[in-house]
Amino acid sequence: MIGILALQGAFQEHADALKKLSAEYKFIRNQSDLCAEFDGLILPGGESTVQRKLAKELGLLEHIKKMIEEGVPVLGTCAGLILLSKEIACGEETTFGTLPVAVCRNAYGRQLGSFSALGNVGDISDFPMRFIRAPYIEGIFSEDVEILNVLDHKITAVRYKNQIGVSFHPELTSDLRLHQMLLKI
Ligand code: GLN
């Protein structure tokens, strides 16, 4: 079963993608939801500052962080990537900090706030990437971080052991290959 952090943002779209793949899921909204046994986690896009605040207030941070550190596979998309990152440009507060990368939030500026592109993500070719006020990865702190996509000289997708972080929104397209990648891990 996959746990989807469902405090804010595009969690329903991830659930819809998992449904299409006949994968079981459960929304994580409070501490009692964490009693389930999870084979994987999804951290959706949305607003990372709001998600961080809510996760902290609801007492979810430490439990989820421990699960990721213990090897539960996780897919973080857009704001979810920010929640995973070890460092955020401008010294902003981090959330789980389990992914050894530095991200820059809202990195494409206002004019390019929202755009789409097609690119390879690791072994997946021609993946439709939808960016919405997206971050990109500007620093990598471990040689075990595998770069899965670079778009216009900016890293937008990585994998580090059990963690996949992408700047874009795979759940907003009908392409299920990144969700399949999570299920495979
Ligand atoms: N700009 C958002 C943030 O900083 C991320 C945007 C998104 O998830 N689409 O959290």
State what percent of residues in the chain have pLDDT above 90.
94
User: CB atoms < 10 A from the CB of 90, how many?
Assistant: 6
Specify the CATH superfamily of domain 2-184.
Answer: Class I glutamine amidotransferase (GATase) domain (3.40.50.880)
* 95-153 pLDDT, tens digit each: 999 999 999 999 887 655 789 999 999 999 999 999 999 999 999 999 999 999 999 99
Q: Given this model, what pLDDT does residue 16 score?
A: 98
CA of 50 to the centre of ligand 1 (A): 10
Round to whole Å and give the CA distance between 115 and 123.
23
Please tell me the pTM assigned to this model.
Answer: 0.97
11-20 vs 177-184: helix crossing angle, rounded to 10:
80
Among 23-32, 85-94, 102-111, the range scoring the smallest mean pLDDT is 102-111
Q: Given this model, what pLDDT does residue 108 score?
A: 85
Round to whole Å and give the CA distance between 98 and 49.
17
Ligand 1 neighbours, Cβ below 6 Å, are 45-48, 78-79, 82, 105-106, 132-133
CA of 36 to the centre of ligand 1 (A): 28
